[in-house]
């Protein structure tokens, strides 16, 4: 039997982090109230601190750097094909 991983929205993650920062409650207490693990909140805090607005891009969404890298790889492949022809 496989366990289904819950998916949380960007807004939920940001709100959980905001609650920890502003409520004066512990991470464990907030996590219990929200029904999530405290390690999830720790990870979300780290990601938000590290990536800011680009944190939690979601499925299929990429950060600006990843999107640029993908675009450049496509362009390189096209140019190599043109060269080979």
5 assigned to some structural domain = no
CATH number, domain at 63? 1.10.10
Domain count, the chain: 1
pLDDT at 73: 93
Q: What is the pLDDT of residue 10?
A: 83
Contact 45, 20 (CB under 8 A): yes
Q: What is the pLDDT of residue 1?
A: 59
Residue 2 lies in a domain: no
Quick one: pLDDT at residue 53?
Answer: 76
Separation in Å, CA 71 to CA 63, 68, 76: 12, 5, 9
Instruction: Tell me the average pLDDT across 50-72.
Output: 76
Domain for residue 73, yes or no?
Answer: yes
* Those residues with Cβ within 8 angstroms of residue 45's Cβ, 6 or more apart along the chain or in another chain: 17, 20
d(CA 5, CA 10): 16
pLDDT digits (tens, 9 = 90+) for 4-43: 778 888 889 989 999 999 998 999 999 999 999 999 999 9
Q: Against a cut of 0.75, is the pTM above it?
A: no
Look up the domain containing 33 and give its range: 10-84
């Amino acid at each position: 039997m496989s366990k289904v991983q819950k998916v949380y929205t960007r807004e939920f993650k940001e709100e959980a982090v905001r609650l920890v920062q502003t409520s004066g409650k512990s991470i464990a207490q907030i996590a219990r109230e929200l029904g999530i693990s405290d390690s999830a909140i720790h990870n979300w805090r780290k990601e938000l601190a590290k990536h800011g607005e680009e944190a939690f891009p979601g499925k299929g969404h990429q950060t600006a750097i990843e999107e640029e890298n993908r675009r450049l790889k496509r362009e390189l492949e096209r140019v190599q094909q043109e060269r080979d022809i």
